[in-house]
Structure 1
Amino acid sequence: MSNSAAAAVLTTADLSEAIRAVRTLLDLADIGQGEVDFEGVIRSPDVLARVRHVLPDLEWWASAGKEHGSAETGDNPADCLPVQVFDWGRPLDRAEPFIAALGPDPAAVRWDLDAWPAVPEAGLEAISQKYAYLTLTVNSRDLYQDEPSQDHTVHVHVRNRNGFQLTRAHWLADQVGGRFNGRVELAPL
């Protein structure tokens, strides 16, 4: 297993602003074979119903532990709230409906990109698929929903053979009107 460094480049209370930033970054990235991954903490039956409508086969287990209910054992997730939900390798068009379904519940949506292309005028070489990701944390400041908040954070994952590439984080932040503030989280891939 490898890791990437996820740099927070925009934090905002306006979810539509965060989504606009994600769209801008996706327009800059190579996404030909891209896919999206989801994880979150669902606390209410209404949010659960909306999320399951968007992602009917998602994996889940009770936040209290799998022994208190899980998809593996065929339990009803509505009887086990709050639940952790996971779904991997979905088409890119599933991201925004999932985000819209969340309401106040925290989640992370990670776009697995083909590459961050080279930007010669900024002195940036291409970053391969192995380290090209973009994550939006909704109602949470961190990738793992450990810091619930009423705002949303866009994280860019960048790494090359020389390690974390601060220049790319700053450049990507500039493209969305954000600012890289130095906050970086380790993200297992």
Structure 2
Amino acid sequence: MSNSDAAAILTTHDPALAIRAVRTLLGIADTTGAEVDFEAVIRSPEVLARVREVLPALKWSAAAGVEHGSSDAGDDPARCLPVRVFDWCHPLDLAEPFIASLGPDAAAVRFDLEAWPEVPEAGLERVSQKYAYLTLSVNSRDLYQDEPSDDHTVHVHVRYAALAEDTARIEWLADQVGGRFTGRVETAPL
């Protein structure tokens, strides 16, 4: 397991704008074999029901701890609310239905990409899968749902502790979606 740095490039109250930015970035990236991972905190039975329509085999544990319930134990998540979702390795086409199901609950939707492309005119080389990630924080400003918010943040991932070398890529990607890099970065274990 390695780490990356996740740089915030767009924060908006408009979920449609955040999703358009993600679509644009996915259009730039090499998505051959790409997957999407979901992490969330689900607090209400209504949101849980909608999420389970998208992910019927939902992987979760009680926010109070696995001893209070989990999907591995075969427990009913509706009896264990709030629950934390850690459900990974899904096809990209589940991302938008998952986001739509969340209502006000916080989540991180991480897109595991094949690569960020070479951009010769910007002096950028191809970046392989190890550092080709994109995360949309929904109803949260951070990757871990620790800063609940009524807005949404798009993060692009770069090499851990190599921010100075990767700032050009961050800024170029931000420009593609009408965002800007503010310097806000989080370490993301991958």
Please indicate the TM-score interval, normalised by the length of the shorter structure: over 0.9
SS in 2 for 1:158: strand
In the alignment, which residue of structure 2 is the partner of 1:24?
Answer: 24
TM-superposed deviation, 1:163: 2.1
Instruction: Return the alpha-carbon distance in structure 2 between the equivalents of residues 149 and 53 of structure 1.
Output: 25
Q: What do you get for the CA RMSD once the two structures are aligned?
A: 1.0
Residues 1:87 and 2:87 are matched in the alignment: yes
For 2:75, the equivalent position in structure 1 comes to 75
Alpha-carbon offset, residue 25 of structure 1: 0.4
Map of 1:186 onto structure 2: 187
Q: CA deviation at 1:159?
A: 2.2
Is 1:168 the equivalent of 2:178?
no
Whether 1:10 and 2:10 are equivalent positions in the alignment is yes
Q: Distance in 2 between matches of 1:50 and 1:138?
A: 16
Matched, 1:116 2:130: no
**Distance in 2 (alpha carbons) for counterparts of 1:59 and 1:27:** 29
- Deviation, 1:58, is 1.7
* Matched letter for residue 150 of structure 1: D
In the alignment of these two chains, the number of paired residues is: 188
> Which secondary structure does the structure 1 equivalent of 2:20 belong to?
helix
Report the residue type matching 2:18 in the other structure.
Answer: A
Q: Which amino acid aligns with 1:12?
A: T
Structure 2 unaligned runs (5+)? none
User: Alignment partner of 1:41: what SS?
Assistant: strand
List gaps (5 residues or longer) in structure 1.
Answer: none
Q: In structure 2, the residue corresponding to 1:78 is in which secondary structure?
A: helix
Q: Could you tell me how far 1:32 is from its partner in structure 2?
A: 1.2
Indicate if the aligned counterparts of 1:127 and 1:159 stay in contact, CA closer than 8 A.
no
Q: Is the 8 A contact 2:51 2:102 kept in 1?
A: yes
1:5 counterpart SS class: strand
Q: Report SS of the residue matched to 2:115.
A: coil
Distance in 1, matches of 2:172 and 2:71, equals: 41
Q: Distance in 2 between matches of 1:123 and 1:65?
A: 47
Q: Is the 8 A contact 2:10 2:155 kept in 1?
A: yes
Q: What is the Cα deviation at residue 158 of structure 1?
A: 1.7
Q: Matches of 1:163 and 1:181 in 2, distance apart?
A: 16
Rounded Cα–Cα distance in structure 2 between residues aligned with 1:127 and 1:57: 33
- Kept after mapping to 2: 8 A contact 1:106/1:140: yes
- Give yes or no for contact 2:138–2:151 (8 Å, CA) kept in 1: yes
TM-score, structure 2 length as denominator? 0.97
2:173 and 2:45 map into 1 onto residues whose CA distance is 37
Q: Secondary structure at the match of 1:24?
A: helix
SS of residue in 2 equivalent to 1:74: coil
In structure 1, distance between residues paired with 2:58 and 2:181: 33
Q: Check the 8 A contact 2:32/2:114 in 1, yes or no.
A: yes
Measured in 2, the distance between the counterparts of 1:5 and 1:149 equals 21
Q: Does 1:55 align with 2:49?
A: no
Deviations 1:115-141 (A, max 9, x none): 000100001111000000000000000
